[in-house]
A and B are shown apart, each in its own frame.
Chain A
Amino acid sequence: MAEYSALSLLKNALTGNRDWKPAWRKPEPRPSYDVIIIGGGGHGLATAYYLAKEHGITNVAVLEKGWLGSGNIGRNTTIVRSNYLLPESVRFYDFSVKLWENLSHELNYNVMFSQRGILNLAHSPSQADDYIRRGNAMLHGGGDGVWLTPAEIARKVPGVDLSRSARFPVIGGLLQPRAGTARHDAVAWGYARAADRRGVDIVENCEVTGFLRDGEKIVGVATTRGEIRARKVAVAVAGSTSRLMGMAGIDRFPIESHVLQAFVSEAIKPFVDCVVTFGGGHLYMSQSDKGGLVFGGDLDGYNSYAQRGNLPLVEEVMGEMVAMFPAVARLRLLRSWGGIMDMSMDGSPIIAKGPLPGMYLNCGWCYGGFKATPASGFSFAWTIAKDEPHAVNAPFTLSRFERGAVIDEKGQGPTPKLH
């Protein structure tokens, strides 16, 4: 067992780093398991880990159609935060931040969780009122939030354009100090390794092509590597949720798949040491430990499964970036990419039993899935193991749309591209 420690690093350095074991096995899928998790992304791997650790269920397979980390777990802008308004969201995401705080230790894998804070810039009195209200909701829910004046922002983030002549002058900002960033690949690898060590089979290059049924009940999956049976089948496939539901005969579902682009600039010297969001549009940015500015903005705004976007959105995001930080105007982009978001009808996720017997569903992350990874895995594992939701995911049902119990942070209504 390759435990990581200062001693093991030293020992392996002395032997030329030739003796490291692979972080997880490459098992052949067995004919049957207690639980199959479809989707080897952050949420699927976290679910497998917590199933094994919290509930002792280790006869589990995680099926991934590509390689680990090839989906949204490796495509996000790595932000972790719980600065939400509604009590259901505050409770869920704050629980997630608490899991993040101990994650590297728990997984014995450095996920580089850095609580550098997130600063939401406000540009009008009404926006400031709205942010302060949200800050109060965060405090009320047991989280942390601080209002910063422009003078305090100038000290914290000197690069922000605080001039009165700015197109959207900054009048203050809401800071959540416990928010931050984490290394997203390490989260996938850390969970994968920890789950594998507890006996979970992680099967890569194994695409699910259909469900095995016994009447209504789901009893397994057909895959590109053969049929696999299971007592419980859990689905955690983000933007591909509608396709999986289609295979199960559910051809209409409260999800739209949209493309979200993200960007990283060439590396520069330390420029900003917290996450900053621009309230004059929609932009969030931070600086990675390698020095690149990592940032993203809105969805492209149309249904897409293409994992790449179009140029108008790129232009808009760059415009906002330069409005916020004029000093980066001549910086070059290193890379841009896209991921497919499972946009739900109220902007909140679904973590629940169903919709068919034997099936469990985890989807609707819109573009907030990364920060939720630990809480999502924890509560989804709980739901699978006990056939009932944990307190933090109980409100996030599929039936809430029928019951009128939507959890709509922004009050946008059922137009997924606006969440």
Chain B
Amino acid sequence: MLIPCPHCGPRDLSEFSYQGDATRTRPDPASTDMKAWHDYVYNRPNPAGPHREYWQHAGGCRTHLLVTRDTLTHEVQAVAFARAALNDGAGKP
């Protein structure tokens, strides 16, 4: 599996560190809504198909990436910088 890092180009899986589901939204830290916290901490959509997830290019430029990858085929469909995606709202579910 190769992940095309926007900085470094297509690089081997072994250079990347997986950081999981990117569609989770953390409740306001002041929130005491137990249901919302439980959902954030423990529940995942876990789709069979396109999955939005964070990776870090830990063995390269160390940038955090937002990757869309098909969990049925491992095909990487889109890669963006996580910070930019979050800032323009694209990182939200």
Is A415 close to B, CB under 8 A?
yes
| A306 with B20: CB separation less than 8 A | no
Instruction: Identify 20 residue pairs between A and B in the complex whose beta-carbon atoms are under 8 Å apart, listed by A's number.
Output: A240-B48, A242-B45, A253-B43, A253-B44, A254-B44, A255-B44, A255-B46, A256-B44, A257-B46, A302-B53, A303-B20, A303-B21, A303-B46, A305-B71, A306-B73, A312-B14, A401-B38, A401-B41, A401-B42, A415-B20
CA distance A254 to B18 in the complex (A): 18
Min distance, Cβ A294 to any Cβ of chain B, angstroms: 25
Q: Mark B50-93, 1 if CB is under 8 A from A, else 0.
A: 01010000000000000001011110000000000000000000
Choice from A254, A257, A303, A304 contacting B42 with Cβ under 8 Å: A254
| B18 with A417: CB separation less than 8 A | yes
| B45 with A310: CB separation less than 8 A | no
Q: Mark A255-288, 1 if CB is under 8 A from B, else 0.
A: 1110000000000000000000000000000000
| B44 with A402: CB separation less than 8 A | no
Q: What count of chain A residues pass the 8 Å CB interface test?
A: 26
Q: Which residues of B contact A306 (CB under 8 A)?
A: 71-74
The residue on A at minimum CB distance from B72 is A305
| B74 with A310: CB separation less than 8 A | yes
Min distance, Cβ B41 to any Cβ of chain A, angstroms: 5
Min distance, Cβ A153 to any Cβ of chain B, angstroms: 32
CA distance A302 to B1 in the complex (A): 11
| A303 with B43: CB separation less than 8 A | no
Is A210 close to B, CB under 8 A?
no
| B38 with A303: CB separation less than 8 A | no
Name the interface size band of chain B: 20 to 34
Q: Given contacts A254-B44, A310-B13, A312-B12, is CB(A303)–CB(B39) below 8 Å?
A: no
Q: Which residues of A contact B42 (CB under 8 A)?
A: 254, 345, 401-402, 414
The 5 closest A-B pairs by CB, nearest first: A312-B14, A252-B43, A242-B46, A401-B42, A254-B42
Q: Which residues of A contact B44 (CB under 8 A)?
A: 242, 252-256
Is B34 close to A, CB under 8 A?
yes
Is A28 close to B, CB under 8 A?
no
CA distance A257 to B53 in the complex (A): 14
Could you tell me which residues of chain A, from 307 to 330, have a CB within 8 Å of some CB in chain B?
310-312, 315
Which of B1, B21, B46 is most buried by chain A, counting CB atoms within 10 A of its CB?
Answer: B46
Min distance, Cβ B30 to any Cβ of chain A, angstroms: 20
Is A251 close to B, CB under 8 A?
yes
| B34 with A402: CB separation less than 8 A | yes
Which of A240, A304, A414 is most buried by chain B, counting CB atoms within 10 A of its CB?
Answer: A304
Q: A251-B45, A301-B18, A401-B38 are in contact. List 12 more A-B contacts (CB 8 A).
A: A240-B48, A242-B47, A252-B45, A254-B42, A256-B21, A257-B71, A303-B20, A310-B13, A310-B74, A312-B13, A345-B41, A414-B42
CA distance A315 to B51 in the complex (A): 26
Min distance, Cβ A389 to any Cβ of chain B, angstroms: 20
Min distance, Cβ A139 to any Cβ of chain B, angstroms: 33
CA distance A257 to B18 in the complex (A): 14
